[in-house]
Each structure stands twice: as structure tokens, then as C-alpha cells.
Amino acid sequence: MRLILLGPPGSGKGTQAQRLVARYGIVQLSTGEMLRAAVAAQTPVGIKAQHIMAAGGLVPDEIVVGIISDRLDQPDAAKGFILDGFPRTVPQAEALDELLKKKRIKLDAVIELRVNESALLQRVETRVAEMRARGEDVRADDTPEVLTNRLASYRSQTEPLIHYYSERRKLLTVDGMMTIEAVTLEIDRILSAIGAVEEAKAAKKAGAKRTAKVARKAGQAKTARKTAKKRAKPAAGKAAKKAAKGAKTAKKAVLGSRKASKGAKKSARKALAGSRARAAGKTRKTAKKVTKKRAKA
């Protein structure tokens, strides 16, 4: 499901975009968020945009289209997307058509949320009056005066897109003055009529299957690691016991060797002492004989 959502300020585009994202698993592509992300990531296009914005200039259409192109190449956009905040002018729409053609991506529909401007202004005036009565702060850009200016800007810039997409039979119009739930149901109905819902559900199901497959593989890998760890523990234990036993035997051998060496030294000392004693005895005996002979003489 690949959509563009058009509508003046206060028509509920943001709410309906979030509902479409949640229901069909598509991604919401906001040009503002994409610009900030590209600048933060320091992509080639993001660096160009950063220099222009730092100088206080407006980012040219070709750079915005380049950022959209990079975003469409990301895996999550393959399931479908809804463009928010782009295109705003006919030249932007033409540039987008060229980009989608190069990428062989088919735009399913352009949904226009049509509203009654007088009723919309009345709604804002009522909300602002209620907020002031409760003592709440009213944002500077959330007043009937500001909304009037924004509506005028929408009519001059964006309304020509209605004619552009109508000529290409991509435009689907929904009454944006209905309740939020009623608008959601009507969007579902017209998307079902053109076959976009079934395609989106199939893509979401395929994505879920891929996710489940990846999860299963991850689970199998985890189980294999656990099994290997369990098998490694007894082997490691046996090896450790064997090593300990070997060390014990070696220790005994060393102790035995030391004991034998000690015994040999002791025996040698005894033998030496005995030899000396015998030699001394002989010497005394000889001396005694000599003394006796001298005495007789």
C-alpha cells in the first residue's frame, strides 16, 4: 500500500496516517523527520541539506526527493508507505512520479480529506475559547487567525495537486468533517475497492512470516548454543578431574622422589659415619699395640 494523504490544516491527516500505519504495517514518511534523520546520519544528501538550512535557505525539491529516494530504499518501506508533507506543489508531484517510475513503485492512491473551511474555523474558535475559559495556554499557531493564513497557503499551493492527481485517476476524496472513526471506515472502504487493502494485508502477512522465520532461526541458534554449553560442561569437568588426578599423581611422585633422595642421603651419612668409626677404631687399636711393644722394650 503506497499512499499520499492530502488535506488542509486541521483536517485530521496526522490522525488518519497513524491509523493506517498501525492497521496495515506501512511506514509514515514525513519529509521533516526524513530531513532531520539524513542530517543526523550525515548522508551525502543530508550534508547538502544541512549547509542550506544553516544558511537560512529553503531545501530545494531535488534534495528533498533525494532524501525520499534514500528512505524508500530502506527495508521497512518495501511493505508500503504513506507520504506526509510531500508533495505540496505540482513540480514536487512530477518529481515524485519520476522517482517512483525509476524505482518501479506504483502509487496506489492519493486520499484527499475535504473539509468545510468555515466549519473548521468555527471548530478552532470554539476550542480556543474553551481552553482560555479553563485557563490553559493557547499556542500561537493554534488560533483562527493563523489557521486562516494556513488555509489560504494550502489553497494556493497544494490545491492544484487535487487537479493533478484527479487527471491521473489516483485521487480518492473523503469527507474530513465526519467523526474520526467514520473517516477511518470510509478510507478503508475506498482502499478495499481498489484492491490496496488485500495487497497491504498480504505484504504485512509476508513480513510477519519473515519476522517469525528470523525469530525461529534465532531461537534454534540459541538452543544450539545452550546444548553445546551443556555438552561442554561434563567434558570440561572430566578433563578437570583427569588433570587434577594427574597433578595429584605427579605430586606423589615428587614427594616420593624427595623421600627417596632424603633416605639415600641419610644412608650415605650413616655409611660415612660407620666408615669413619671403623677407621678410628683401627687407628686406636694400632696405637695401643705400638704402646705395648714400647713398654716391653
Point out the annotated binding site for ATP. 10-15, 134, 178
Q: Which of 139, 169, 293, 294 is catalytic?
A: 139
The question of whether 150 is a catalytic residue gets the answer: yes
Q: Catalytic residue among 23, 114, 150, 201, which?
A: 150
What distance lies between CA 150 and its chain's CA centroid? 37
Say which residue the cell 538550512 belongs to. 53
- Asked about 23 being catalytic, the answer comes back as no
Residue 79 appears among annotated catalytic residues: no
Residue found under cell 477511518: 184
For the annotated binding site for AMP, the residues are 31, 36, 57-59, 85-88, 92, 139, 150
Annotated binding-site members = 10-15, 31, 36, 57-59, 85-88, 92, 134, 139, 150, 178
CB-based contact 68:31 (threshold 8 Å): yes
88 belongs to the catalytic site:
yes
13 labelled catalytic: yes
Residue type, 259: K
Q: How many other C-beta atoms are found inside a 10 Å radius of the C-beta of residue 15?
A: 13
Out of 19, 114, 123, 127, the active site residue is 127
CA 170-80-16 angle, 5° bins: 70
Residue 147 CA: distances (Å) to CA of 10, 86, 92, 104, 219: 8, 20, 24, 38, 53
Of 88, 114, 123, 201, the catalytic one is 88
Just list the catalytic residues.
13, 88, 127, 139, 150
